[in-house]
Amino acid sequence: MTDDTDGDSEEHSDEAARPTPALTASDASATATPRIGVCYFPEHWPRERWETDVEQMAEAGIEVVRMAEFSWGRLEPERGAFDFEWLDTAVSLLGDAGIDVVLCTPTATPPKWLIDEYPEILQEEPDGTTREFGSRRHYCFNSPVYREESKRVARRMAEHYADVDAVVGWQTDNEYGCHHTVRCYCDDCAAAFREWCRDRYESVDDLNETWGTTFWSQQYGSFAALQPPRHTAAEHHPSRLLDYARFANASVVDYNEMQADVLREANDEWFVTHNFMGHFDTLDAFSVSESLDFATWDSYPTGFAQDRNTESVTEDRLRAGDPDQVSLNHDLYRGPAGFWVMEQQPGDVNWPPRCPQPGEGAMRLWAHQAVAHGANVVSYFRWRRCRQGQEQYHAGLRKHDGSPDRGYEDATRAATEFESLGDLDGVDAPVALTFSYDDLWALAEQPHAPDFDYWGLVGAFYRALRARGVQVDVVEAATDLDGYEAVVAPTLHLADESLAARLESYVDDGGHLLLGPRSGYKLPGNRLQSDLAPGPLASLVGGHVDQHESLPESVDTTLTYRGDAYDYRTWAEWLRPETADAVGEYTSGTAGGRPAVLDHVVGDGSVTYCGVWPESDLADALVTDLLDRGGVAYSDRLPETVRAAERDGHTWVLNFGGDPIEVDAPDDAEWQVGDASIPGYGVGVVGAAVTELSVQ
């Protein structure tokens, strides 16, 4: 089993660098003209329609088509009786039209005959309930028989298409973990978890020590005694939960690598990718991407604004989504070879609580935003609204009668505009923001406040950077940070000496670090450090955390930072400066008068430690001070519905609001798309890198 997490205890810290994964920092060498694509299901429509579909795709400027991710039942109606003829025909029609085809392994939907033959493939929930056949993603990543079956079908497809020029690459499976399916609790998973722990720990005593199982008599006498954290009375042990999260993730990493190897064996010129999801909690995209050439993800802005956001949903967000929520995922999934949006929302969708029509032009706006953040392909999901099954209420670029829908017009316009922009290099970001799935998992188990959500805390800092038009790489803290003028670490909750040493070296050499709350509290095994927080980061921060508290919205939460008054929320730490200067002080509650923010000069650089979850004005003040110290240029603070992004000497101004805006750009700015008057849900592109932007 793959164990790629970074250090599990004091004894197990692992400083070894990763191989070059698909999600390291951006690299300006990835040059491409952005293209428009679409996801197509020829199997849902009469064959006599396919030629017309392909003609209409070509007319729209669509250059990439993804197919077959749920087609196992159609490709192999019964064991061994493969029928490729229909897919061959569709691939050939697309190839003849000059359209690149991306095929998918169809493993997200094991067919009925396979489940009947091997019911043990099915997943189990923590209470032992089986996830039955009838939807999708109903398989266990650790089922030995399903691994063999997956390999068999992937190999058969790969060998069949190995010499077909139109097929340029593959997507493995579809949306690993969707519908809470990363973590399964079946007997196969129990056995695999024991093996994973045997590989990770020197002995069961080592596991007991790392977890801290003296608490509540939770000691294990052998690895064989370990079970998945199934349904129990109170909450489970946090260290066991964190390791189960890591184990379940490693199971997906391993499964994906198996598929990628099979595909590359058949044709090593193909790219291999996977379509991740937005603000997704249970899968470490960094580790899965190590066996991919680049990442892709599925972007549904009006749905995410409702079901993955703790903030109030304004009409603008219902119509166009939250720009920072979407672009945080763009920046997370962007790697040296860029990224793709494999599924772009095409119009109204079927799964959020409410399903509004997007704003006029929003489907074009989203494509431009993705490209501005480094996307090389934006592929809409789906070609045509489907007349059967679970997604009948999900729009396509065409309506279910075949006529063009609103997304078709937007996609066509975007395709023409991307063609006019020509080749673009990747995004060159001066600032890194750290992201850790281990921290996400550990904090999700012990949030200590109902509204303490890792994505929300990361978003508070990210939003402040994006409101100033600053390009951001979202990276693991273990990444080489040397090339960045400034680094924001919203929290480094689990920390060890090796992480501290890497950060000290970055700052000592002139780097500037802004570090958020709850940092250095715990060891990688998810138990408290022996020292007070921030534990191994204390010499970097220049002080310690004396107390912490979480507070509800109804309580006054204010402080001063460099003499100005600000609000914070949710979390507060009473800080004790030692070699650092206190530059923030609480002005409300029991915390009143105590230090809240510390500044520390370290070598040629600096560290600011912020002991609270900052509201937006404080986040802006902290971030602009950091940018000043790092010498990073930034714009006036943009309204929350307007964002600017720069890629390869082009600046996109994106209006996520329904009202028109006037952009004040330098007089010699040449508008390549639109002009300084940008309509609601519209976009303009200036042919220069522009930092001094303001908006009326």
| Catalytic residue numbers, as ranges | 175, 343
Who contacts 215 (Cβ-Cβ below 8 Å, separation ≥6)? Answer: 237
Q: What is the CA radius of gyration of the chain?
A: 25
Q: How far is the CB of 126 from Zn ion (least distance, A)?
A: 11
Which residues share a beta bridge with 124? Answer: 130
Nearer to Zn ion, 140 or 537 (CB): 140
Nearer to Zn ion, 76 or 188 (CB): 188
Cβ proximity to Zn ion, 123 vs 210, nearer residue? 123
Residue type, 59: E
531: which 2 tokens?
């020292």
198 vs 502, which CB is nearer to Zn ion? 198
Task: Compute the distance between CA of residue 90 and CA of residue 646 in angstroms, rounded to an integer.
Answer: 38
Q: Report residue 223 CA to chain centroid gap.
A: 33
Give the shortest CB-137-to-Zn ion separation in angstroms: 12
Q: Which is nearer to Zn ion, 178 or 688 (CB)?
A: 178
- Which residues neighbour 381 within 8 Å (Cβ) at sequence distance 6 or greater? 38, 39, 298, 342, 343, 344, 345, 346, 396
DSSP string covering 539-577, please?
HHHTEEEEEEEE--TTS--EEEETTEEEEEEEEEEEEEE
Shortest Cβ 122–Zn ion spacing (Å): 9
Residue 262 CB, nearest distance to Zn ion (Å)? 21
Q: Which CB sits closer to Zn ion, 187 or 648?
A: 187
Q: Left (φ > 0), alpha (ψ -120 to 50) or beta: where does 66 sit?
A: beta
Pairing state of beta strands 564-577 and 612-614?
Answer: antiparallel
The answer to whether the CB of 656 falls within 8 A of the CB of 323 is yes
| Element of type H or E holding 523 | none
Q: Which H or E run contains 69?
A: none
Please, what is the minimum distance in Å from the beta carbon of residue 438 to Zn ion? Answer: 22
**Closest CB to Zn ion among 189 and 495?**
189
Minimal distance in Å, beta carbon 256 to Zn ion? 16
3-state secondary structure of 252: helix
Alpha carbon 108 to its chain centroid, in Å, reads 20
Annotate 172-191 with DSSP letters as a single string: -SSSTTTTTTS---SHHHHH
Q: How far is CA 115 from CA 129, 134, 256, in A?
A: 16, 11, 21
User: What does the block give as tokens for 54?
Assistant: 């392909």
Residue 374 near residue 417, CB atoms below 8 Å: no
Q: Which two tokens stand for residue 138?
A: 């109903």
Exposure string for 237-263, b = 16+ CB within 10 A, e = fewer: bbbbbbbbbbbbbbbbbbbbbbbbebb
Among residues 188 and 405, whose Cβ is nearest to Zn ion? 188
**Pseudo-torsion of CA 198, 202, 206, 207, nearest 10°?**
-20
Contact between 236 and 229 under an 8 Å Cβ cutoff? The reply is: yes
Cβ-count burial 655-685 (b if 16+ within 10 Å, e if not): bbbbeebebebeeebebbbbebebbbbbbbb
Least Å distance, CB 254 to Zn ion, is: 13
The neighbour count for residue 17, using CB atoms within 10 Å, is 9
- Minimum CB separation of residue 240 from Zn ion in Å reads 17
We find the least distance from the C-beta atom of residue 290 to Zn ion, in angstroms, to be 23
Q: Which is nearer to Zn ion, 102 or 186 (CB)?
A: 186
* Residue 645 bridge partners (DSSP): 652
Instruction: Give the binding site for Zn ion (CB under 5 A).
Output: 140, 142, 184, 186, 188-189
